[in-house]
Structure 1
């Protein structure tokens, strides 16, 4: 059973039994697979069904070696090719790198390590366009900036009224704010100072735009909360480069600030902030909203019996399942320890509980490796529905109470919060 779109992986080896269990486990993480032991069948399949990734054994196939397979393989397939091997020296790795191998994976292949590599590869391919918010009263500047930045593949929004900037920051969530220094209503440095007083926007880069060339005045403006200063009549290529560099630095910084280091999910503070935004939006627009609290059953016993590194792998396995199931990365977070949170936007309580239960079944079927073999883990969950007058904390408390009831009833199940009287 799967509730998310699968990504296809090709396994290529003369001994396909080496990959059978690995391939089966990958299915729980949103991957499908096909296995090939002959070069001819592999090449034929590539003409009709392209995979996301190819895992090639160092032995090649039953009819050709890996070195013989790669030249034609790389002509038909331009995606990542992983080579599974028992340990190559640097010279051998260089040889295979020149033949088209993009990464090396050591036998025996660790499921979690492979998934981490696949996720890293996917992140490289999923390059989201930068979002740029310009606050400037000049339509001429706005048209020029829109033409330049939009033409470079960036998402652009223009705002003429600086007093509406907070609403735009919340709704558009830009990667960078371009702010005119001199506007009729106020100065750019004044707006920057007010923005910096709001913790949720503390890390967003503010870049001042002006015809001002006096270095002292530029530095004065930056001291009020700006990160950089750009001259309006700069070259188009220079604007694109400057915005791209600053926006990418912000994304990297924001990831470290908002994400849990082990799982890559939103940390406690930021999943709660994300829920607060959704609660406000749901009340304002009369939309359905449900929230689920998840807790891994008997997690202390897992740590005590198998060790903390194994416990960490269990946490990462669950986080990967949760992340793959949610279309919005800001809808899932690590609440703390072995607890996780899911924000089900536009879901009733019953539908959210069904989706959460599907995840529970998937997780329980997943085999976790340890030095003595494999074991299965489970989680319990509580799901609450947003009702009129409820705050984000009310919703969290209701889901937490339902989680406690699920654990008291025997664990490995989903509990439903009662309606408020």
Structure 2
């Protein structure tokens, strides 16, 4: 049964097909005009280049929009022109070339294009179905935060369950395979953590996961943990459908990060894709397909507009045509690679060019992939998503702290400058809270650095999940964090941070069977009381210093008359 969204997709595609049909005679007329002026025996590279671009566009655009009848004639004309244009030096127009182009152009002029439903390349409905199923799966995972943990070591099961509960998961520990099997069949969890070795066998854990998932339409994400770290154990877990493998001793911080990825509790931001093609119909068709998959797109039909668009559109990937007038795809790729900030921006060509050598030459200038028209929507989405995701990951490694996943020191300061400038223009308020874990050195000395990492991870996670989406959180350094709260005054910011302080102080941490608690102190400063980023940070630091010296585990606010305390 077609959904409203599917009908919308079809309707939009029909409009693009209608636009192609409307422009088809004009494009053939341009080709006819160029062909009339071709003179055998003369060098007319510029006119041949224009003819090649017309036939190349007709082939690629027609195929993408489902007009299969165009393909053979346009492809033959393009191939004949390409053979001549690839010659070094003077390009000679021959009678044979003119005759070949005349024959193929006549065949195209005889076509009667109609808006019958496209067949071989119209995968809109199946694409819609796969998108809808993926969305439903995401919603299901987002709502399920229940985790089962099974290990025949009672102490390990209880301790790891307790640690993971600090990170917002409802973890139920099991010590036997029968017990977790019964619970699983009664209510499948959002994820399951399973030991590999049990009294029933060296691979009993993976065997049970494979057995239980066979009963479900959608396998439950599973993480295996084991004292074994050999190839055979890892291979068995993969074959059983395992999504991750953690050698013992298991670090709760790492396990929480794995669970975050597997349960998709925080929806990721949509990918930003810039589509560059001189054919508006094809450009908008690709943009439409990507938007149906949840991406955000911008379209550029003129290559010279691309740098300007990229300045205000944070693209994760550029999808560009290979052949465009005045500026080819490789030329544009070279140009972008010379602009600071775009050296690693993924670039994918989409073209009807099938010659492998020419594809390879185009990739040599710094592009990351080549997709050949006609292109199925599912494949376009998969290829774009894969490369954009990789770009996001690399970018995240450069701007985020490796332990907490928060913005690093330099990035949070840059974001403060940007947020402050925005608030100045909009006459909005802004607060920055500097947060420091109390007695953190004592935690490391008493319980060890892994326990200290657990504390930092828990605090970072608390700030990230409990603050608003518009707020920015970073690890300022060591055990100190910074939170930028936009649109709040001092009293509102203090209330929020104070509530987080009380909740964090109630979290129970575990290390070697010992329970302990941690607290934090915070200092808050506000704009416009402090008008510069540097003075905001300094004022918040002074307020934090006062909170520390007033007994810790408290929040202080900064005012204009707050003086720097004397060193003690």
Q: 1:132 deviation in Å?
A: 0.2
Query: Which residue of structure 2 aligns with residue 259 of structure 1?
Result: 400
Aligned to 1:118: 259
| Aligned counterparts, 1:242-281, within 5 A | 243-244=384-385, 246-281=387-422
How far the C-alpha of 1:175 sits from its partner, in A, is 0.3
2:219 to 75, 78, 98: 78
CA contact (8 A) 1:203 1:254 kept: no
In our comparison, the structure showing a higher alpha carbon Rg is 2
Given that 1:12 and 1:60 are in contact with CA atoms closer than 8 Å, whether structure 2 keeps it comes out as no
Matches within 5 A, 1:359-370: 359-370=500-511
**Within 2, Cα distance between the matches of 1:99 and 1:135?**
43
Work out the CA distance in 2 between the residues paired with 1:231 and 1:275: 39
Q: Given the superposition, is the C-alpha separation of residues 110 and 194 from structure 1 closer, same or farther in structure 2, using an over 3 Å criterion? A: closer
Match of 2:479 among 338, 355, 366: 338
Higher strand share: 1
1:168-207 → structure 2 map (5 Å cutoff): 169=310, 172-178=313-319, 203-205=344-346
Question: Cα deviation per residue 1:357-412 (whole Å; 9 max; x = unaligned)?
Answer: 33323333334444583443322112223327823334323322222221222222
1:32 aligns with 2:170: yes
Distance in 2 between the 1:404 and 1:382 partners?
7
Separation (CA, whole Å) in 1 of partners of 2:324 and 2:238: 54
Describe the shift of the 1:89–1:337 C-alpha distance in structure 2 as closer, same or farther (beyond 3 A). Answer: closer
Residues 383 and 100 of structure 1: is their aligned pair in 2 closer, same or farther, counting only changes over 3 Å? same
Distance 2:425 2:368 in 1: 37
- Find 1:19's aligned residue among 141, 157, 161: 157
Give the secondary-structure state (helix, strand or coil) at the position aligned to 1:228: coil
- The answer to whether the aligner puts 1:282 opposite 2:282 as a matched pair is no
- Checking the alignment, whether the CA contact within 8 Å between 1:182 and 1:210 is kept in structure 2 is no
Structure 1 residues 227 and 83, CA gap change in structure 2 (3 angstroms): closer
Q: Which moved more, 1:334-343 or 1:114-123?
A: 114-123
Taking structure 1 as the reference length, the TM-score comes to 0.73
How far does residue 282 in structure 1 lie from its aligned partner after superposition? Answer: 2.9
Distance 2:282 2:246 in 1: 51
**Given the two structures, how large is their TM-score scaled by the length of structure 2?**
0.57
Quick check: 1:10 aligned with 2:151?
no
Distance (whole Å) between structure 1 residues aligned to residue 359 and residue 153 of structure 2: 66
Alpha-carbon separation, structure 2, partners of 1:161 and 1:290: 42
Deviation at 1:262, TM superposition (A): 3.0
User: Quick one: distance in 2 between partners of 1:207 and 1:82?
Assistant: 34
The correspondence of residues 73-222 of structure 1 with structure 2, limited to 5 A, is: 73-74=212-213, 75-76=215-216, 78-83=219-224, 85=226, 87=228, 91=232, 94=235, 98-105=239-246, 109-122=250-263, 129-134=270-275, 139-150=280-291, 154-159=295-300, 169=310, 172-178=313-319, 203-205=344-346
Look up the match of 1:405: 546
Judge conservation of contact 2:359–2:370 (CA < 8 Å) in 1. Answer: no
Paired residue total: 412
How far 1:163 moved relative to its partner? 8.3
Residues 46-79 of structure 1, C-alpha deviations (whole Å, 9 max, x = no match): 5775422123455599xxx857854653224622
Contact map agreement 2:347 2:369 (CA 8 A) in 1: no
Q: 1:33 to 1:418 in 2, by over 3 A?
A: same
Using the alignment, how far apart are the partners of 1:42 and 1:370 within structure 2?
A: 26
Which deviates the most, 90-99 or 21-30? 90-99
Q: CA RMSD in A?
A: 5.0
